[in-house]
């Protein structure tokens, strides 16, 4: 059987690659590679050789043109590999091959600005949603309750019946759509995988601080129609073990953190379908 392989892309301002790689290993991937974007551009590393792509948190290009916008433009229009192939073609081939992509925080911002999410009808290069400045006007670093839609097609949230508890740390996490029709379709097709909620996970929360950024319909994460591409503002890689919890010295907690289920589901999917 082929080994399950995950790749974590770093460079140009990302800062969560070590945590994401550890989460992939803990989740069950046989091999995990942290690759600088320059290695993809040179052709030294190719996305074709992996099953699971991680786009991590950080501050791509310093967020100077807005969160991840410069990188999105670069990857869609300018990035060419050493072989002369546009890097976006590798992304498209990766998706067409039925593989998995998870974008967290800055990675989520990158996915929506490239157009990979929500990716209606297989169009992964048309932007229809965005993530912009928090309503509170400042960076948020706090833990949030997230209600999960069990009807979502997301591969990553399989088995989550109510919700999970994860940290957020961002200044531009407010989810918006380009039209009411886009929002209606996201909701109707159960693509809004995770929503900010109260501690009972019983309803979406629009009030601050439960909703830390003012996202429309309290949306914290979405997936595409296949469920194989997902992005979220909270950080699952930052809670895969109980020692990452802020109260781990004061409470008896399960060994596995709430975020680990996303990586375990990804590994199980890859092993059962792609190797």
170 catalytic, yes or no? no
* Whether the Cβ atoms of residue 117 and residue 231 lie closer than 8 Å to each other: yes
How far CA 144 is from CA of 99, 121, 131, 274, in Å, comes to 29, 31, 18, 33
Cα separation, 146 vs 167, whole angstroms: 10
Exactly one of 105, 144, 145, 177 is catalytic; name it: 105
105 catalytic, yes or no? yes
* Helix (H), strand (E) at residue 71: helix 69-73
133 catalytic, yes or no? no
Exactly one of 17, 19, 172, 237 is catalytic; name it: 237
Exactly one of 51, 170, 235, 245 is catalytic; name it: 235
> Which CB contacts under 8 angstroms, 24+ apart, belong to 123-128?
124/91, 124/92, 124/95, 124/224, 124/229, 125/76, 125/88, 125/92, 127/178, 128/177, 128/178, 128/179, 128/182
Cα separation, 72 vs 65, whole angstroms: 11
Residues marked as catalytic = 105, 235, 237
């Amino acid at each position: 059987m082929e080994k399950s392989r995950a790749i974590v892309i770093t460079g140009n301002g990302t800062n969560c690659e070590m945590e994401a790689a550890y989460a992939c290993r803990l989740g069950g991937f046989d091999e995990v590679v942290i690759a600088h974007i320059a290695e993809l551009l040179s052709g030294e590393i190719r996305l074709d050789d992996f099953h699971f792509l991680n786009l991590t948190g950080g501050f791509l290009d310093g967020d100077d043109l807005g969160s991840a916008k410069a990188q999105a433009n670069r990857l869609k229009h300018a990035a060419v590999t050493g072989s002369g192939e546009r890097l976006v073609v590798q992304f498209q081939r990766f998706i067409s091959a039925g593989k998995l992509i998870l974008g967290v925080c800055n990675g989520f911002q990158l996915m929506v600005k490239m157009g990979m999410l929500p990716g209606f009808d297989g169009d992964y290069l048309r932007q229809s949603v965005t993530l912009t400045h928090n309503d509170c006007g400042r960076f948020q670093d706090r833990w949030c309750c997230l209600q999960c839609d069990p009807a979502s097609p997301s591969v990553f949230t399989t088995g989550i019946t109510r919700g999970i508890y994860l940290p957020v740390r961002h200044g531009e996490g407010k989810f918006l759509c380009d039209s009411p029709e886009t929002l209606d379709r996201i909701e109707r097709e159960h693509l809004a995988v995770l929503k900010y909620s109260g501690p009972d996970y019983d309803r979406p929360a629009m009030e601050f601080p439960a909703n830390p950024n003012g996202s429309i319909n309290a949306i914290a994460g979405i997936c595409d129609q296949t469920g194989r591409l997902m992005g979220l503002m909270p950080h699952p890689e930052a809670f895969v073990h109980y020692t990452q919890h802020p109260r781990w010295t004061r409470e008896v907690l399960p060994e596995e953190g709430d975020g680990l289920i996303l990586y375990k589901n990804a590994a199980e999917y890859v092993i059962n379908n792609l190797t």
